Structure formats: C-alpha cells, structure tokens
Amino acid sequence: MTCCGLCQYETNKLVRIQSVRLGSLKWSLNGAILLFICLLMLWNRKYQQFDLVVSSVTTKVKGVAQIQLPEVGEQVWDVVDYSGPGQEKNSFFVMTNVLVTQGQKQGKCAEVPSSGKLCVSDKDCQKGASGQQSNGVQTGSCVKFGILKKTCEVSAWCPIEARQHLPRPALLAAAENFTVLIKNNIRFPAFNFTRRNILPWMNDSYLKSCRRRTDSLCPIFRLGDVVREAGESFTNMSVEGGVIGIQIKWDCNLDYLRQHCLPRYSFRRLDEKESNKTLYPGLNFRFAKYNLVNGVEQRTLYKAFGIRFDVMVFGQAGKFSFIYLIIYIGSTLSYYALTTLLLDWLIGTSCYSAEVGQNYSERKVESVLDKEQCILCVSYVDEDNLRMVKKSKKKILQEVKPISVQPRKEDTGHMQVALCLLQPRADGTDTLQPLWPNVRPGVRPAWCSCGCCAPCAQPHEELCCRRTDGACITSSPVFEQLVVQRPLLEAVLLYQDPLSSGGDGIRTASLRHCAYRQYISWRFGTLPAEANAVVPSCCVRRIREEYPSPQGHYGGFTPTSSFKQGKDD
Ligand code: ZN
Ligand code: ZN
C-alpha cells in the first residue's frame, strides 16, 4: 500500500552496543554534564528572571577649611566656595587648588607671550585678529611686555591671567577630611521592589558616628578614604585634580531574605593618572566673581583645580521564574550531544575497533553506492584479506589498485551446512584427489599467475585466483569437493528449496550458479556491504566446463547488489 507523507512517521534506527566500558563512560559523561549544568544554574542563578536597576543619586558634601590665597590672604572656604558653580547629575565637585587673577576689567593690555606671538613693530600685529589661544582681540599695535619682550596689544579683561606655577601642596589639601553623604534610591521595575542605601535601621546617631573603615554600609564617606581606596594619594591628586568613580553595586536575590539586598561600594580613578605622561592632566575649569568698583565692572578670575566624584549605580535583581528555568533547561539539552559525539568518535577510531575486535561503524552506517561506482570484491588464494576494488572499464581487474583492504570474515553458517552435506558422501570414493590437470599450456594470458585462466571478454573479468605465481585453486581437492562435485551442489540446492524435484531434474544452469555461490561463500565468507564478489577466471572456466550452457552462451559478470555477489550466467 502506498501512502502519502502525511500518514507516515520516520524515526531513526539505533545500534545498541552491549559494552560495560561504553555504558559506564556514557553515564559518567552524562553525569558530569548534569553536574556542570546544575552548578552553572545555581552559581549564575539561571532559574531566575533578572531586572536591571533604575536609580537616582543625591549627594551632600560637608566640611570647611582655612586657606591662604596668594594676593588675597587668609580665607575660610565652606561648601559653597569649593563646590564650584553648578551641580551635575550623579556627581559632585570639590575644589582642591586654585589660581586667582584679581581686579580684571575691560581694557587694552599686552598679550602674554605664551598665548600670542612676540613682535618687533606694529607691522607684526593685525588689527581685529585673534587666535585660538589668545586672551583678546588684537588692536594692531606692538607694546612692551615686561622689560625685554614686546607683544601685540589686545582688547581684553586686563590684566591678563599669567601662567603661574600651581601651589604645591594644594591650597585646599584639607579637603581630604571633608565628608560626603550619598543618598541612593533604587528600583527594580519588573518586581516593583524599591530600596535605598540608607537602610531602615540607620538612625541619626548612627549616621553621625559611622565610619567607612569599620562599616562597609556607612553612606557617609571621607573624601580622603574614597581616594585612598581608589588606589591614589589625595595629596598628589589634589594639586591638578582628577575624576574618581564611586561605584554602587546592587546584586539582589529576591527569592529569599530581601533585607540581604545591600549596596556594595567600590572606588576607582576614572581619568588618566600619569600626570607627566598626559598632555592636559587633571581636571580644571575657570569661573569668575564680578563686582563694581567706582561704577566700573571688575572681576576676580578663578582657575579651579579639583576632584570630581562620579557616582555610578549598577546592579540586578533576580527572582525565580518557571519560564526562565524551562528555557535554561532547554538550552542545556544540547550539551548531552557531546557524549554521543565523543563515544561515536571513540568507537569510530581504528584503535578502539582493533582493541575490541569489532568494527562498529560498519554496523552503524549503511552505505549506498551508485550503480556506476560498483565496488568489486576480490579474494586471492595466497592472501588473507579481501580487496575492495572500483570497477574499471579499461583496466584489467587483476591490476587495479584496491581502495581498501578488509579482513575476511568466515561465513560459518554456510560452511557448516556445506560440511554436513559432505559427510554422508565420505564413502571411500572421495579421496580428495585433484581431478583437473594443474596447468593447461598454450592458453595462459599475461595477467594469470596460476596458469589455468582463459582470456576474457571484459577487463573486469580478467582476474586470476592468485597474486603470485603458483598452483591454481582449481587444482585443490577441496575445490572439487566443495564447488564442482554434483552431489554436493544438488544437496545444497535441495537444502535451499526442499520441495524441488532434485536429482536429474535440476537444470545445469542452477548447478552452475550454485557452484559460483559455493565458491564465493568458501573464499569470501561474509561479504562486506555493497561489494560484489568476483569469481576468478580459472574457477569460472572450470565450473563452465563442468556445467556448460547447452548453447555455449554465458552472460558474463553482472554485479547485483541484491545478492551481494557476482552472478555469471
Ligand atoms: Zn590464473
Ligand atoms: Zn587459478
């Protein structure tokens, strides 16, 4: 009955190998994979759904310091003075060093040599010009700068800020002892879970007394501690300034003990710290304070150096999710294929096959060949192995190189039957004497080594029973007994078809074919899959001589995969 693809189901055919070694190896590998999967699942909490943190940060810096400003004198600076103008999101700035230029007002003055160029006369200066580095717009005249140099005059805030050396140690080195309170509110939207770094049990007295050194949860940080934990020295860093990152990490497992969802603080420097290797090291910016003196606007210019602290919040929360667990389990199933891959490779190796005396790949894989790529199987009486040869239309079969050599496997079942059938015939007449003359002179072709072969019509029939010169297999008494003798062939045919007429009723052609099969079973044993056994020319000749076709017509060798053996008609 033919059936469409809709009402069919194809499944794989498996080969079960009964082996303690392979079985235990399989279960050990599978166990190791399962263990790995479980460890990975527990370690990375693969059974959980994760959500990233959403957060807001506010900071409050506290501390005052007395500083000695050059040309200004002693001043006390509080948070308003040293925080600089403006607050950025998630960061705060603390000024640690400053250069002050006092009493600037709009006017004309000589450009500083570092920002403009030196001149000799007014011709060197261009009215209205201004460079990228200049502090003002050129007026077109060349004026004295100091005693020896002359520079172009500019309209600018005069006097122009001169290049000065930075005060060392920093003017506001005392900022080391300032403190900052960081308030961080977080939320995991997927789980509607909120939390802040100032924990419910923290009261006012705790916050006033807690220290980062002893309490890792304390939300108040001394700036010196922050810089020190970032691996820097506050004294060095305060001269030119820099950027420090304050990282707050939340890693929460919401499946149990939600109060264990706590922040972890860490610190590191974010900018390039090698000040002598970097062109523009540190962090600085300018701002000015304006005032009116006798109705004229004046300003005090500050070049501020300091440390910016960027607060970065990141983290995730996980909660058990059946769907994520299923997805994880599904994604790990493919790991078990590694076992199959490894074991298949192992049993495919020639080492293992030789060790256990089994060629599993032969049993596992059924190869199908095109009819064109017919593989012939050749057995020589002076060789143990079977040779696999590609059928060639031009080359003599005796001379074609084999594509592979396989050990010969005895077809024990057939041999037992043949020997049983031989037994009753051992009545004294069977003396195991060769009945055929060994060598027939005059007809030997060039490729024949045994001297009994006849010239053939097809190159793939040109095959001798042996590789090297010697006696022909047809001269063996066993050949006579097993392949040629009529009583045995008749008995074999009757054995195969018990209800046939037997005796003289058997056709000569059937006996001839039976003789070929006898020879193939005897000399080839169990044939490898898809191979076609070729009966040597001398044996064909002998069998045809014994059981000739009445018309003298033979079909020659035709490979047929269904019989797995050559057929000669
Ligand atoms: Zn020969
Ligand atoms: Zn021969």
Query: 305 near 241, Cβ under 8 Å?
Result: yes
- Element counts in the chain: helices (H) and strands (E): 14, 20
CA of 23 to the centre of ligand 2 (A): 49
Residue 398: nearest ligand to its CA?
Answer: 1
Ligand 1 mean position, distance from CA 386 (Å): 17
What pLDDT digit, counting tens, does each position of 353-364 carry?
A: 777 777 777 777
For residue 237, is pLDDT > 60? yes
For 563, the enclosing helix (H) or strand (E) is none
Q: How far apart are CA 281 and CA 272, in angstroms?
A: 7
3-state secondary structure 97-131: EEEEEEEEEEEEEECCCCCCCECCCHHHCCCCCCC
The answer to which of 24-38, 165-179, 263-277 has the lowest mean pLDDT is 263-277
Residue 440 CA to ligand 2 centre (angstroms):
11
Split at pLDDT 50, 70, 90, the class of 494 is confident
Tell me, yes or no, whether 23 and 85 share the same domain: no
Q: Is the pLDDT of residue 320 over 70?
A: yes
- The helix or strand, by DSSP H or E, that contains position 301, with its residue range, turns out to be strand 296-320
Whole-number pLDDT of residue 526: 82
86 CB neighbour count, 10 Å cutoff: 7
From ligand 1's centre to the CA of 407, what distance in Å?
23
pLDDT on residue 84: 72
Instruction: Give the tens place of pLDDT for each residue, 289-302.
Output: 898 888 888 998 88
Q: How far is the CA of 484 from the centre of ligand 2 (A)?
A: 14
Residue 8 lies in a domain: no
In this predicted structure, the answer to whether residue 33 has a pLDDT above a threshold of 90 is yes
200: in domain: yes
DSSP state of 200: T
Question: 83 and 213, same structural domain?
Answer: yes
pLDDT number for residue 385: 85
CA of 538 relative to ligand 2 center, distance in Å: 5
Coil/strand/helix, residue 345: helix
Phi-psi region of 404 (alpha: psi -120 to 50; beta: other; left: phi over 0): beta
CA distance 46 to 215: 32
Instruction: Tell me if 175 is assigned to some domain.
Output: yes
Residue 311: the pLDDT is 92
Mean pLDDT of 351-380: 74
Are 438 and 512 within 8 A, CB to CB? no
Q: Are residues 307 and 377 in the same domain?
A: no
Residues 546 and 444 in one domain: yes
Q: What is the arithmetic mean of pLDDT over 544-562?
A: 70
pLDDT at 532 > cutoff 90: no
> 391 exposed, middle or buried (CB, 10 Å; 0-12, 13-18, 19+)?
buried
In the predicted structure, residue 371 carries a pLDDT above the cut 70: no
Q: Mean pLDDT across the stretch 299-324?
A: 90
Does residue 563 have a pLDDT over 50? Answer: no
CATH number at residue 280: 2.60.490.10
Q: Which helix (H) or strand (E) holds 509?
A: helix 508-524
Give the number of whichever ligand sits closest to the CA of residue 444: 1
User: What ligand is nearest to the CA atom of residue 468?
Assistant: 1
Single-letter amino acid code for the residue at 188: F
Write down which residue in 159, 193, 227 finishes a domain.
Answer: 159
The percent of residues in the chain predicted with pLDDT above 90, rounded, is 14
Domain that holds residue 346: 17-47+321-364
Average pLDDT over residues 29-33: 95
Give the ligand whose atoms come closest to the C-alpha of residue 443: 1
Give residue 455 CA to ligand 2 midpoint distance, Å: 12
Q: Is the pLDDT score of 566 beyond 50?
A: no
For the ranges 33-37, 344-348, 366-370, which has the lowest average pLDDT?
366-370
pLDDT at residue 394 greater than cutoff 90: no
CA dist 234 → 99, 266, 496 (Å): 19, 17, 103
Q: Give me the percent of the chain exceeding a pLDDT of 70.
A: 88
Residue 340 domain-assigned?
yes
Q: What is the mean pLDDT of residues 85-100?
A: 82
Same domain for 473 and 561, yes or no, is yes
Write the DSSP assignment of 421-450 as a string of letters: HHGGG-SSS------S-S--TT---TT-SS
Distance CA 324, CA 452 (A): 78
Looking at the structure, tell me whether residues 250 and 326 fall in a common domain: no
Q: In the predicted model, what is the mean pLDDT of the chain?
A: 82
**Separation of alpha carbons 263 and 103, rounded Å:** 49
Note whether 424 and 555 are same-domain residues: yes
What pLDDT score does 249 carry? Answer: 94
For residues 89 and 187, state if they share a domain. yes
Residue 407 lies in a domain: yes
Do 263 and 225 fall within a single domain? yes
Query: Whose CA is closest to 155, among 174, 175, 173, 134?
Result: 134
Number of domains in the chain: 4
CA distance 539 to 381: 12
Backbone angles phi, psi at 338, to 5 degrees: -60, -40
Average pLDDT of the residues in 201-223: 87
Are 339 and 462 within one domain?
no
Choose among 407, 366, 408, 373: nearest CA to 390: 373
∠ CA 62-65-69, nearest 5°, is 135
Query: Whole-angstrom Cα distance, residue 149 to residue 112?
Result: 10
> Bigger pLDDT: 117 or 230?
230
Residue 59 falls within a domain, yes or no? Answer: yes
Which ligand gives the minimal distance to the CA of 464?
Answer: 1
- Residues 424-468 have pLDDT tens digits of 554 555 444 545 555 555 567 888 888 888 888 788 888 899 888
Q: How far is the CA of 475 from the centre of ligand 1 (A)?
A: 11
* Res 556: pLDDT: 65
445 and 420 together in one domain: yes
Give the SS3 label for residue 303.
Answer: strand
Q: Determine the distance separating the centroid of ligand 2 and the alpha carbon of 466, expressed in angstroms.
A: 7
Give distance in angstroms: CA of 477 to centre of ligand 1: 17
Q: How many whole angstroms from 60 Cα to the centroid of ligand 1? A: 107
pLDDT at 170 exceeding the cut of 50: yes
pLDDT at 257: 76
With 80 as the cut, is the pLDDT of residue 203 above it? Answer: yes
Residue 283 Cα to ligand 2 midpoint, Å, equals 100
Q: Distance (Å, rounded) from C-alpha 288 to C-alpha 299?
A: 6
Q: What is the mean predicted confidence (pLDDT) over 153-165? A: 83
Is the pLDDT at 194 greater than 60? The verdict is yes
406: three-class secondary structure by DSSP: strand
pLDDT at 44: 87
**CA–centroid distance, residue 525 to ligand 1 (Å):** 21
Q: Which residue has the higher pLDDT, 530 or 159?
A: 159
Comparing CA positions, the residue from 40, 543, 122 lying closest to residue 331 is 40
Confidence label for 564 from pLDDT (cuts 50, 70 and 90) = very low
User: Three-state DSSP class for 327?
Assistant: helix
Q: How far is the CA of 506 from the centre of ligand 1 (A)?
A: 30
Interatomic CA distance for residues 295 and 297, integer angstroms:
7
Q: Which ligand is nearest to the CA of 438?
A: 2
Question: Could you tell me if residue 385 is inside a domain?
Answer: yes
**Residue 538 CA to ligand 1 centre (angstroms):** 6
Cα 478 to averaged position of ligand 2 atoms, centre (Å): 14
What is the distance in A from the centroid of ligand 2 to the CA of 564?
23
Residues 352 and 438 in one domain: no
- pLDDT of 32 higher than 90: yes
Report which of residues 279 and 199 the model is more confident about.
Answer: 199
Cα(446) to ligand 1 centroid in Å equals 9
Q: How far is the CA of 453 from the centre of ligand 1 (A)?
A: 4
- Is 106:297 a contact under the CB 8 Å cutoff? yes
CB atoms within 10 A of CB 257: 9
Ligand 2 mean position, distance from CA 450 (Å): 5
Indicate the residue type of 216: S
Among 132-136, 171-175, 355-359, name the most confident range: 171-175
Mean per-residue pLDDT for 24-43? Answer: 93
Whether 4 is covered by a domain: the verdict is no
> 151: how many CB neighbours lie within 10 A of its CB?
24
Q: From ligand 2's centre to the CA of 470, what distance in Å?
A: 9
